[in-house]
Structure 1
């Protein structure tokens, strides 16, 4: 199954380190960060899960619920959690889905046979409160993810949902944004009375109030 931006994230019911989870019900009205791991007791995954545990307050501040997946059983997940805490200094504080039958991995297209038919790729899905997929990232099994970039992308998604703007290259929160080309000059003046810097009629940079 190939998932695309704008599609509804598939629902599922699966066991996890936090007990049985019905995905849509668990998400509720929150944003979701759903990310997969090739298998348990792998070095890159161990560092990633520790990082997300450390970043949990940052996700909470954005109304985002992180949830991981690995194609092993819950008992194995719990044993792995002890290793994560001992090596990374942070224990799992979010659910890790057990997917030994690969039901969810197949549902989300996390098995890429041409890369490795035996494990999931490092998939990332950002899902909005309407259960729509808003961002998809796919890393090969050996390349660790950059969760600072994932947070930055979530900041952009949430800002551009709230304002008629887009975020330029390498944007970080607090920097200038681009006024949506769909806004006329009159509409832009009404929405952005602070004014903007016009590099081209289609490229208008504005500083938003903090």
Structure 2
């Protein structure tokens, strides 16, 4: 299910958390893709950037490409998009490899697909065009899509704000941890930090929990119980086998 918003005379589709990722076929810098079918069984970070040959986007692409191997260890692929054509993408990515150094990353080869979306069809399907920010460029949207093709988290940034790559990786780890262990993660969670246990359905359930607290479990109140899971156990559970 989606909601829609009107802006500058154009209708923008807004997928929501829990929705199936909208389907599309597109040409990319790595060939044609059918999304999300081609990524079945994989986590995907699908992100948009405002434009090729722009400085903030360049810093992001160097950073994202440099963490591809790290993301792959968590069964996660990157997929990029801007409302530029394939020739522009390819020329820009070549310049990144040949000329750009950012935070000691240089000669970076961007091998994840970047979608040709000069028509804006995919960007509008995913609500990446926000007329209040810019009617002709995509904002910095990030969609976290699980192996079943379901949208699990969404983050939006304005054109002027580069994304935090460490946070994108943290979100992937947190989502995979919650799925595997049936827990929630607190603010600023990192593997090895305590996780949050589901709230009991009733006081009887809370009493039973308090009477049977396992090692590593702590309850500060009926609604706030945590459990220790060692970082090694988390990493072993969520890293790609």
Q: Given the two structures, how large is their TM-score scaled by the length of structure 2?
A: 0.82
Q: Find the structure with the greater CA-based Rg.
A: 2
Question: Given the alignment of the two structures, is residue 61 of structure 1 paired with residue 73 of structure 2, yes or no?
Answer: yes
SS in 1 for 2:123: helix
Counterpart CA distance in 1 for 2:190 and 2:94 is: 34
Match of 1:200 in 2: 221
Counterpart CA distance in 1 for 2:183 and 2:36 is: 29
Q: CA deviation at 1:175?
A: 0.8
Counterpart CA distance in 2 for 1:188 and 1:54 is: 46
Distance 1:2 1:188, change over 3 A: farther
Structure 1 unaligned segments of length 5 or more: list them.
none
Match of 1:81 in 2: 93
Counterpart CA distance in 2 for 1:189 and 1:12 is: 52
Match of 2:188 in 1: 170
Q: How many residues in Structure 1 have an aligned counterpart in Structure 2?
A: 209
Counterpart CA distance in 1 for 2:24 and 2:133 is: 25
Question: Given the alignment of the two structures, is residue 43 of structure 1 paired with residue 55 of structure 2, yes or no?
Answer: yes
Structure with greater strand share of residues: 2
| 1:150 equivalent among 165, 168, 171 | 168
Match of 2:116 in 1: 98
Contact 1:179 1:188 in 2 (8 A): no
Counterpart CA distance in 2 for 1:188 and 1:71 is: 55
Distance 1:55 1:35, change over 3 A: same
Q: CA deviation at 1:195?
A: 3.6
Q: Within 5 A, what are the aligned runs for 1:125-144?
A: 125-144=143-162
Structure 2 unaligned segments of length 5 or more: list them.
1-12, 234-241
In the TM superposition, structure 1's runs of 4+ consecutive aligned residues that sit over 4 Å from their partners are 185-190
Q: CA deviation at 1:49?
A: 0.8
SS in 1 for 2:21: coil
After superposition, the CA RMSD in angstroms is: 1.7
Q: CA deviation at 1:199?
A: 1.1
Q: CA deviation at 1:205?
A: 1.7
Match of 1:182 in 2: 200
Deviation sequence 1:129-167 (CA, Å, 0-9, x none): 111100111101111000101111111111011112111
Q: CA deviation at 1:82?
A: 1.5
SS in 1 for 2:110: coil
Q: Given the two structures, how large is their TM-score scaled by the length of structure 1?
A: 0.94
Question: Given the alignment of the two structures, is residue 10 of structure 1 paired with residue 14 of structure 2, yes or no?
Answer: no
